[in-house]
Amino acid sequence: MFAVLMQFVAFSTPTHAAVAPTGDHLALLAIKSMIKDDPQGVMVSWNHSVTNFCQWQGVTCGSRHHRVTILDLSSSGLIGTLSPSVGNLSFLRVIRLQNNSFSGEIHPEIGRLFRLRELRLSNNSFTGNIPATIMNCSDLQVLHLGYNNLVGKIPDGIGLLSMLNLLILHVNILEGGIPPFISNLTLLETISLADCQLGGIFPDVFQRLTHLRRLAVSGNNLNGTIPPSFYNCSSLEQVFLDDNQLNGRLPENLSLILPHLI
């Protein structure tokens, strides 16, 4: 009878075996698997154990759903590629991976993050095109992809990101000119397309950008004259147009037309 009782207890006692990771946990592990070197050990806490992934370094979760909302691994010395599994972190609002050594493409899966508000991938070695799927990130306010090796045209879909207030693509290897869709982004405060090998005529696209404070398009191959409507951007504080092929003269009363210029 005692032996039978012991067997019953054994079968009825709950076990404490590790639970297989799912959802955001799996996505984070997939991101870690694409990192070749982590010299600062920021991902040491990222493991397969039952440790709550919301406590991992660089990860912040929302208090309500306990889903990943911020992924901040900036300035961590990471070497590797960005896993397309980042697109499975469907509650992400902020991605900060700037100042690392990521290479390879920015995968189109980034467009699955329709809650994303901030994407900072600057100062890495990303290659390929800016994914057209980024147009699906309709809440995006900050897009900073500067100092990479991105190629091709600036996707027209960026013109649908009506909440955007910072657009920085400088120091890449892009084609075409300053896109006309810029005029649709009426909340923009900062635009930097400097040193991107852009060409064509300096466009008449800025007059609707009444919030624009900083504009940098220096170090390109822009030509033509600055259209008079450009001076309607009365909020401008900083303008960098040097190292292009522009001609014509600036207004003599520029300080009155653009009173906030530094």
Tracing tokens 């890449």 back to the chain, one arrives at 172
The residues near 252 (Cβ < 8 Å, ≥ 6 apart) are none
Structural domain boundaries, residue 168: 20-175
Flag whether 241 is in a domain: no
Distance CA 121, CA 99 (A): 8
CATH number of the domain enclosing 79 = 3.80.10.10
pLDDT score of 10: 43
Domains identified in the chain, total number: 1
Q: Which two tokens stand for residue 74?
A: 């900036």
Flag whether 132 is in a domain: yes
Entry pTM: 0.90
If we measure between CA atoms, which residue out of 96, 151, 145, 112 comes closest to residue 128? Answer: 151
pLDDT score of 247: 95
Q: Residue 18: pLDDT above 50?
A: no
State the pLDDT confidence band at 254, using cuts at 50, 70 and 90.
confident
Mean pLDDT, all residues of the chain: 91
pLDDT digits (tens, 9 = 90+) for 162-191: 999 999 999 999 999 999 999 999 999 999
State the pLDDT confidence band at 17, using cuts at 50, 70 and 90.
very low
Distance CA 260, CA 262 (A): 6
pLDDT digits (tens, 9 = 90+) for 92-122: 999 999 999 999 999 999 999 999 999 999 9
pLDDT score of 50: 59
Quickly count: other Cβ atoms within 10 Å of residue 121's Cβ: 24
**For the residues 39-59, what does the mean pLDDT come to?**
90
pLDDT digits (tens, 9 = 90+) for 112-162: 999 999 999 999 999 999 999 999 999 999 999 999 999 999 999 999 999
pLDDT score of 262: 86
Flag whether 30 is in a domain: yes
Flag whether 45 is in a domain: yes
pLDDT score of 4: 43
- Torsion-angle region of residue 195: left (phi > 0), alpha (psi -120 to 50) or beta? left
